[in-house]
Amino acid sequence: MVLLAAVLCLLPRAEAQVRFGLKGGFELTEMNFNASDLREANRAGFYLGPVMKFTLPVVGLNIDASLLYSQRDLKVDGEKILQKSLLLGGDLRYSVGLGDALSIFVNAGPQLSLNIGDDVFYWKDDGQNNHQYALQNTMISFNLGLGVSFLEHFEAGIYYNIPAGKTADFTWDKIGDNLKETSWNRAKSKTNAWHVAVAYFF
């Protein structure tokens, strides 16, 4: 959003064309822990919400702004976790092609994730270990993408999302230990994601 305001301020005499649309898609997440004995398989999710496209008076240059509801399934040490978020994104895009008929674009930009679901999860496994997985309430990440626009109203693309920091903290210990005197085992998780998206502009 800050990037959008800065660019528009630099172009006071030009008129940016604005279009509204809907965007949705699926994601495949890859969780990584900074502990060698913690590994999880890829998991799936989806997202949906409104998007705006600002066409700037520079050939091929656009800015996209979106507000998306995201829901993803995570699996941590055998436990399924549901993460719900609002994603506020702003991407700078460069397109080349045949106007509204067909064009190819690349884009990149920051994304702010706001957790709107449960942020701390507790459970016990079969070995009577206590577990706690605490999600970050806010997180900055970056999107890199490639896609196509066609028939004036439609877009399809694939994106890679890279968090700027950790996604969550994972701690665990055993029932029966005196937790006031015993330190919990700790690990940080980071979740990268591939996104496949489609959009329709009115």
Interval 20-37 mean pLDDT: 89
Name the CA radius of gyration of the chain, rounded.
Answer: 20
Percent of the chain with pLDDT strictly greater than 70: 83
Query: For residue range 96-113, what is the model confidence (pLDDT) as tens digits?
Result: 987 678 999 999 999 999
Q: What is the pTM of this model?
A: 0.84
Q: Is 201 within 8 Å of 43 (Cβ atoms)?
A: no
- Indicate whether 33 pLDDT > 80: yes
Distance from C-alpha of 95 to C-alpha of 90, rounded to nearest angstrom? 16
